[in-house]
Structure formats: structure tokens, C-alpha cells
Structure 1
Amino acid sequence: MLRRTFGTIVPVLVAGCVFVACEAGDGAADRLIVPGERLGPVRLQATRAEVRRLLGEPDGTWVVPNDSGVELDLWGPPGSPHLVVYYRDDRAVQIHATDPAYETADGFSTRSTIDAIRARFAPLQVFVNPYEENTAYYDATGQGIAFVVTYAEDVATGKLLGTTAAVFVHLPGTEVLIY
């Protein structure tokens, strides 16, 4: 169920969900990822109103249709880097970005390899996304950070190659939300 959109409506597939997106929001200059705390200027547990004061009105809003009580706001155009904030009871419980400009203090972002992620954030729980083929979530649950990796077969070698597609920040001790 879509609650509100702005501008030209274009469907976008992100982590198995169809969103409605329009022109990119202005965003903010802060691009630091702090696991379990914040992604850029958006802090976990911030209210939706606080997030919108920071980032402006979202390009799209979506309500997860599974009685989870989760709603999402999306900033960014289709096919381009974007930021999504997940709310439960009007509080940010998860944030994800696909823009490689967002990175941790030690440089982890969507440019990071799965081997580097495994070495830095172990132990990781691995969740296969039931909504997207060839997509897995590598979740450092205790640290409050997860990475979405998409896999494709290298036709020359037949090996699976992973590409980090998104970085998620969530509350430590909780699993990444997959929709």
C-alpha cells in the first residue's frame, strides 16, 4: 500500500520490495556509517519527523504489507544510489544505503569485498533473500551492520562472483529486516 509519492511515479525494486520513487532528495553531506548507531546523519531510533527534517521529504513511502508494523521512506531515483529508512512505531529501526560514498570509519562500504567484510565483521549470520534470486545478507547482528551481496556467475570461470549492493545499519542484537 503506497501512502504518498511526489513527482513522476516510477516503480523501483529494492531488497525485494517495490517502492515508488521520484527525483532525488538533497541528502546530507554526512556519509559516515556507525554500526548499530547511524548511517550518515540518520540515527537509529530517530522519529520520522526528525529524519525528514534532516533529509527533506522522501521520494517514496511504502508500508510493508505483512503486519510487521514496518514502514519505509526512500530517498533517491531509480537505478541510482539511494537511502531507505525503516520505521516501526514512528522510530527508525534500520537504515540502508546503496551509495558507495557512505562508509565506516575504516572504509567499509558497497565497494567492500565479501572477503574483507567476513574478516572485519565476523561472526556473520548469512540470510538468503527469499524475494530476490542470487542475493544474500551478511549480518553482523551483534554489531548492528549488514551487507547485501548479489551473486552472478562468471561465464569464463563458472565461479560465483559477489558484489556488495547495500549496507544496512540496524539495532545491535537484532537481525537485519528483509523485505
Structure 2
Amino acid sequence: MKIYGLKAALLTAAYCIATLPAAPVAEAADYKTFPGTACMPYGNNTSWAELTYRPGGVTTEGTANEYILCGLTTDSENGWSSTTPTNIGMSFKTSSTTNSPIICTANAGSAFIFGALTYAGELNLAPNATGTLSINGVFGSDSYSWLPVTINCRLPPKTTLARIYMNEPSSTYIPPA
């Protein structure tokens, strides 16, 4: 009887150890996606009424260019540098019957961080097309983790910003020692 009880105890212990969660591991990259609906009107010439918010993104329904501002969440443990920059992409679609030139600017930093940097990108969408505008190599002060990033875009008429995605290529979780 004692051998059977010992066997059962060993099997139970082995099962418990095998099903323990693995220890957290630092990740080498962190991909994030933000909906276009997370953006808000930007500047004096664009109001909430001039933008349409749907589950598929934010759209300019009128006949004029409109401007939006989007804040991106960052959480890099090590900060970004020229050797570990982040890459940002934005997915657009248009229902316009004419070309739709899109201009976006990414700002890395804030009024409180000396040396905030600006990066720009352009995309010219053909009529009734989709496309991605990429802004690669974004970095700021090497000594600042959790760098604030904002994007502002000029959206042509009948154009939708569906999503923004970002890759922070440095560790975003460093386990405690």
C-alpha cells in the first residue's frame, strides 16, 4: 500500500511541476496596433463633425482636407536610439475618384523633452485604393524610455485611416532580478 501511495504522490508532484506557468521572458520586440478611431480632430480647420468614426476607422466625408492627431502608447524598457529605432505604419483607403495625397508627421518627444524629433511620410493613393504609409527609423533621446509619440495627418476627402501599427524593437519587459 505504501508503494502505491508514494507512486501517486510522485505522479501528482510531477503533474503539478509540469503545469506550472513558465517564467516571464524579456521580449525582443513589441508590436502594437491602434485603431484609426483613436485619433481626434487637429488644428483650427477640423472639427469632430467633419470626421466620421466607424469600427473600420476615421473618415473624411466632406470635400476638404481634414487633419487628425493620434497619440501612440509606448513602453520600451530601454529607450529608442539610432541603433534601435521604432517603425510606424498607417493603413489607409479611399473611395475618392481622384488621387488622394496623404501627408503624416510623427513626433518623438514632447515639450518637456529636449531634442524631440520629427519624421514625415507621404502616400499618394490612387482612386478607390488602399495603401500603407510607413515612417521608419523613429527615435528620440537615447536616455529616455517610454518616449511619447504623436502622429498628425492630413486626410484628403473620402479617405479613411483604418489603423496605425508600431514596432518597438527593444525589450518591453525586463523580469526583476
Q: Name the TM-score class by shorter chain.
A: under 0.3
Greater relative CO, 1 or 2 (CA 8 Å, sep 6+): 2
Over alpha carbons, which structure has the higher Rg?
2
Of Structure 1 and Structure 2, the greater helix share is in 2
Q: Given the two structures, how large is their TM-score scaled by the length of structure 2?
A: 0.27
Q: Given the two structures, how large is their TM-score scaled by the length of structure 1?
A: 0.27
